Structures are given as C-alpha cells and as structure tokens.
Amino acid sequence: MPFSYIKTHLQQRADDALLRQRQLISHSTGREITVNTQQYLNFASNDYLGFAADVIQHDTGIALGSNSSPLVTGYGIEQHQLETYLCELMGFEAAMLFNSGFSANNSVLKALFHDKKTAQESATFHDKLNHASLIDGGLHSQAAMIRFNHNDMQHLQSRLEKSSAKHKLIISEGVFSMDGDQAPLAKLKELAKQHNAWLMIDDAHGFGVFGNQGLGTCETIKPDLLVITFGKALASSGACVLASKELVDYMQQFNRDYIYSTGLSPLITNLTRQRIKQIVGDVGALRRNRLADNIDHFKKQALAHKIAVMPSMSAIQPIVLGCAEQTLEAANKLKEKGIWLTAIRPPTVPFNTARLRITLSAAHTHDDINRLVSELKAIL
C-alpha cells in the first residue's frame, strides 16, 4: 500500500514515548498559560523578560504585509529602520531580516557555500549541541561539515589544525537552547583568529537577556556573523543576520530563502524596533535584574531540595531524567498539579538525555518558583 510507512513510523514514535503533538493554547504569558480552558503556571515559555503580556501602542496605518520579497517591493522603510537601528546598537556594517531564526541560520550556511568549487576548499566546524537549523544548514551546504565536542576548545583546536580548508567557519550558539549553558566566546574568537577562520554565533537565547544593555552574549565580543531572533526575550517574531556589508550583499545574491520569501511584516518590524528600545532602556534593565534574581532563587531552592539541575546560569534550567517515557510521565504529573512543563525527548536531545526543560521568566514570582520546586520534589 502506498505510503503505508507513515502509519508505521507514527506508531513507532508512540511506542517509544517520542510522539510529538500540538497543544491548542488560548492564552499565554511568561507566567501563565491556558490550554484547553485549563490554566497552568507556565515554565515552558521563551518569554524570558515577560514582555508577551505587554501591549505596544502602534500606528494603525502601518501595513500588516510587505506583499513581496525584499528584492522586489518587500523592503520598506520599517525594515530599513530596524536593520539600521540594530547595526548601530550591535556595531555591524549591515543587516538583513528573515521571517524566522531557522530560516536565517539554515539559509546563510547554504548560501555561503553554494558554489561547488568554493565549497571543496571550505569547512564548517559545529559545536555538537548546535540547534537543528545550524546542523541542517551545514548538512545541506556543499562544504565539509566537522563537529567538535560541546564547548571543548581543545577538540575544536585539534579539528582546526587537521583541516586543510582554505575557508573555515566556526559555528556555535551564544546560549544553548537545551542545556542553557554559554559558549566560551572569547576563546572561540581567539581560535578563529589563530586559524584565519570566521566565527558565526546564533544568539537566539542570549539577545535581550545578557549584557549590560541586553544586547546578548556578543555585546562585547563581535563574531563575523551574528544571528539574533525576535521570538524569545523580545516576544515578537522574525530574525536578523548582522555581518559586513560585503557579506550581506553576497547573501542578497545567493540566499534563496531571502530572495524567494515575502519580506518580514512592516507592522511586526515596527513593533519589534519599539520592543528593542524597551530592552536596552530602564524597563529592560529592571526585568533582567528580576530574571537574574529568579534564576538565583530557583537554583538555591533546587539545591536545598536536592534536585539535580544542569550547570546553567541562564533562564534555561534542565533536569535530565534520561528515559523518554519517565520524562513524559513526570511532565504529565506536573500538569495534573497545574504546572506546564515540556518533556524534551530525542531527537531534539541525544538519546538517554530526555529532560524536563524549565524556562524561567521575569514574570514569575518567588512563590511560583517555590511551588514548582515543591512539586518537582514530590514527583522525582
């Protein structure tokens, strides 16, 4: 029977406790979420600063759609203003907006090594825990793809020394989405310089949260390519690639995602620029301090109750249980207690590292965190 494998593969996923299913959300903030009319404390959101509940006043005359790709008629004043503002903030020559972080990461790598002859002289060096968008981009580019052990600079150095590639690109995340730890950016930058390589950083989970101004893990250390996304701390959508003018000009010639996609919404772009101004202002500073206090409180409470969390200083605080079935069962038990937590299972994370991925927000109170820890202690 044609396509009979679909039913078989779905059943296999279910048998392995790995079946993914969407949940219909009727309301969600950094602190609370309503699923099928049931309200929960939300510890599964990337709304790190609690901006999702905030309404931004805007000019109703701004169009919702850009109506075309950026290289046709879909690049307007709103997109230009956001790109210019980000360049000024981050210290880059040029920028280009994308509809998602996945599209930005994936397409930049494919475009950079699209030429077969150039690709034969090129290699990408990926942290083994890089996001799927980066891994997919590496796999679908024509350059050699080399992976190094997570945050292991000696292993990376060994890989670089053994490579005869003319064009080397080191790729990592500022804050890793599943472990919550940070990349050693200063050492990565140093190795890139030593080996005449470029450095690309995806700072999706760092932008807005880290740095004195909230400009992320790359606030003081500039990579050659920086990708920031707007769907986490900014509570918006879309992404931006920042780099040299020459590289952005190159992307406009060869990046198929950018060339053949409708441009990012002018309305979303305008609201995102307003949100970034909040991030770098007093409101953002206040919320970053509140988030830091919540992270510290959670870690102290977890330690006091002997709950083993991974060594993360970010809002992402994973508890690795290993078994996918047990992790899913724990998440369901927490839901019964009114706490919404995601069971992260393979292939999102390596096998035998299934985990409860706790994400904290500035919107949480200490009482919320105390309740979470109490319920975790009861079920673990």
Answer whether 219's CB lies under 8 Å from 210's CB. Answer: yes
Supply the DSSP symbol for 209: T
Catalytic residue among 28, 42, 45, 46: 46
Examine the residue annotation and report whether 202 is marked as an active-site residue of this protein.
yes
CA atoms of 35 and 21, how far apart (whole Å): 13
Examine the residue annotation and report whether 131 is marked as an active-site residue of this protein.
yes
Catalytic residue among 202, 203, 257, 368: 202
Catalytic residue among 83, 107, 130, 131: 131
> How many distinct helices (H) and strands (E) make up the chain?
13, 14
Examine the residue annotation and report whether 78 is marked as an active-site residue of this protein.
no
Q: What is the chain's alpha carbon radius of gyration, rounded to the nearest angstrom?
A: 21
Nearest CA to 192 out of 166, 143, 157 is that of 157
Tell me which H or E stretch contains 324: helix 324-336
Catalytic residue among 189, 232, 299, 364: 232
Examine the residue annotation and report whether 219 is marked as an active-site residue of this protein.
no
Amino acid letter, residue 257? D
Examine the residue annotation and report whether 296 is marked as an active-site residue of this protein.
no
Catalytic residue among 110, 205, 299, 364: 205
Answer whether 53's CB lies under 8 Å from 29's CB. Answer: yes
Examine the residue annotation and report whether 141 is marked as an active-site residue of this protein.
no
Catalytic residue among 83, 173, 219, 375: 173
CA atoms of 124 and 199, how far apart (whole Å): 10
Catalytic residue among 133, 172, 177, 236: 177
Examine the residue annotation and report whether 179 is marked as an active-site residue of this protein.
no
- What is the bridge-based pairing of β-strands 198-202 and 94-98? unpaired
Q: Which residues are catalytic?
A: 46, 131, 173, 177, 202, 205, 232
